Structure 1
Amino acid sequence: MRRFKSNSKDRGPALSLPLLFMHASCAGVFFVKGGWPAFTIFALMYVLHVFALTAGFHRYFSHKSFKTSRTFQFILALLGTSAAQRDPLWWASHHRLHHMTSDTADDIHSPRQHGFWWAHIGWVMQRELAETDLSRVKDFADYPELLWLNRHPYAPAFTLAVLLLIFGSLLNYAFPKLGVSGWQFVFYGFFLSTAAVYHITFCINSVAHTFGKQRYDTGDDSRNNWILGLLAMGEGWHNNHHRYSVCARQGFRWWEIDLSYQLLRILQWIGLVWDIREPPKKLLTEGMRI
């Protein structure tokens, strides 16, 4: 099996211990009470993190598919970083490289070139890929708050875990009949939810370049996968995305559910985002496979 080639002499699984810790900690759900409060906090954090990554890290920071204020830009950055997938500068710099080299030998997470497992999770555990190439994200590299997140990518995630512990404990104190506890919120709302978001995100690199349908001939292996379209809040319409990557809307057909896009429309109505980029009308039929 081929592996991504790097000039770094210090290659190693530097990020494997944090990932192992996050996954192993999910076992804590067997030692706390479940029920609707646990599943509610799990679902809430899952949706918030998937949206922050899909709409924030991906569509905004990587592709600039809409505009927003500096304040809301930081909110998206902070919320996305709390999902423990590092920061928006690191995330966008690697994703932009992926689009420049999609499924070629230089693509850092191509299943065709490096194998399914590498594309899914192996690449994020490499020491040389932990660095951020700021030259690829010059449009955001001048913001000191984003640079701070780049230097401290795990601080927001740790803070979130502590806040969930405190919030769950306070709810238990105020409403003991709810059956809520701080550790319940930590294990369901942080560890289990974060691990689930990990794999939904990773599936776009692996599954969405292996399984599904190709509406457009994009010259790579990107595919539309309806299951990921639902679970990843629109990201599963990946062949559409590779056809027109700067578009905020990835579900091109009425039945291609894209919750991130719909939420962006609500935020536009509120006034938090604007200039949402749509696909050209001719693109909806141009280049379609028969």
Structure 2
Amino acid sequence: MSFVPKPKYQFGAVLFFLLLHVGVVAVWWTRPTRSLLAWLAASYSIRMFGVTAGYHRYFGHRSYKLGRFGQFVMAFLAQSSAQKGVLWWAAHHRLHHRESDRERDVHSPTRRGFWWAHVGWVISNDFDKYDPRLVSEFLRFPEILWLDRHHWVPTVTFGAIVALIGGWPAFVWGYVVATVVLYHCTFAINSLAHLWGMRRFDTPDESRNNFWLALLTFGEGWHNNHHYSPGSCRQGERWWELDITYLVLKALSWFGIVQSLRPFRRVLPVADLANESAKVAI
């Protein structure tokens, strides 16, 4: 039977998302300065790294190793982006790889259109829950389960710290504006990166490499590379494919903070790609 999600939206579930977008108009009363733009850039960069290195490459694919404390810190940093719990995020992402651009893909623009893939599925109540079996290796960590259940704690904490240090103007630019920009750059990987760009590898989906998205998302825009070798920590295959997330993780590995970064694997025949995506390389 075909999997056709029915979009269900409850006002309470999308209220925070809507308030953040409405809150962007506050920039009219807090005109940008060098200091405020620095708040925006720093907040965006720190939390984009949390999304790419935390949600995606660690919890989604286990493409490198962390100690238990480092794992908790990475989960907290990822959730400061206000994109729900790390286990929720990872479980749905693993399902996306298993069913990429097929009927059961939770956010395929080729199946449900751009709006659904970009943001509709995120704020829909259809996917509030996830199958814990998809992230079973993390279920033995009570601190991760607690963070996942209370996914709002890190982002509220982050916003409060920004407000306490920088005041109202810094909160507007360093939290509200930065979070909205972070949302749409992250969501563009689900939508635009399956519609716009080039395909180096003949993967069984519509994933594409996009230079501009790669810049904005610290390497995630090399999306066709990623779907070809999903378990790889490095997503920029060629020397010129800038992958900021990988470079930062590589630097952290020199100090023993992270270990066992999985290299890019350019070895799979096309016939095996669907099976590799199904395994999600965990």
Opposite residue 29 of structure 1, the aligned amino acid is: V
1:224 aligns with 2:212: no
Q: CA deviation at 1:251?
A: 0.3
Decide which of 20, 44, 64 is 1:66's aligned counterpart.
Answer: 64
Q: Is contact 1:3-1:113 (8 Å) kept?
A: no
Q: Is contact 1:66-1:274 (8 Å) kept?
A: yes
Q: CA deviation at 1:258?
A: 0.3
Opposite residue 193 of structure 1, the aligned amino acid is: A
**Equivalent position of 2:233 in the other structure:** 248
TM-score by structure 2 length? 0.91
1:184 aligns with 2:182: no
- Tell me, in whole angstroms, the C-alpha distance in 2 between the residues paired with 1:41 and 1:4: 41
**Equivalent position of 2:123 in the other structure:** 125
- Tell me, in whole angstroms, the C-alpha distance in 1 between the residues paired with 2:30 and 2:92: 37
Q: What are the Cα deviations for residues 22-79 of structure 1, in whole angstroms up to 9, with x where unaligned?
A: 1111111221242111011110111111111101110000100000111111111001
- Tell me, in whole angstroms, the C-alpha distance in 2 between the residues paired with 1:252 and 1:85: 27
Alignment of 1:1-290 (within 5 A): 4-5=4-5, 11-13=8-10, 15-168=13-166, 182-280=167-265, 282=267
- Tell me, in whole angstroms, the C-alpha distance in 2 between the residues paired with 1:19 and 1:88: 18
- Percent identity, please: 42
- Tell me, in whole angstroms, the C-alpha distance in 1 between the residues paired with 2:260 and 2:24: 40
- Tell me, in whole angstroms, the C-alpha distance in 1 between the residues paired with 2:265 and 2:207: 20
Larger radius of gyration: 1
Opposite residue 204 of structure 2, the aligned amino acid is: G
Q: What are the Cα deviations for residues 193-214 of structure 1, in whole angstroms up to 9, with x where unaligned?
A: 0111100110000000000001
Opposite residue 19 of structure 2, the aligned amino acid is: F
Q: Which moved more, 1:272-281 or 1:54-63?
A: 272-281
- Tell me, in whole angstroms, the C-alpha distance in 2 between the residues paired with 1:12 and 1:153: 19
Which runs of 5 or more residues in structure 1 are unaligned? 169-181
RMSD: 1.7
Stretches (4+) displaced over 6 A: none
Q: CA deviation at 1:233?
A: 0.3
Opposite residue 142 of structure 2, the aligned amino acid is: P
Name the CA shift for 1:217/1:257 in 2 (closer, same or farther; >3 Å).
same
TM-score by structure 1 length? 0.89
**Equivalent position of 2:280 in the other structure:** none
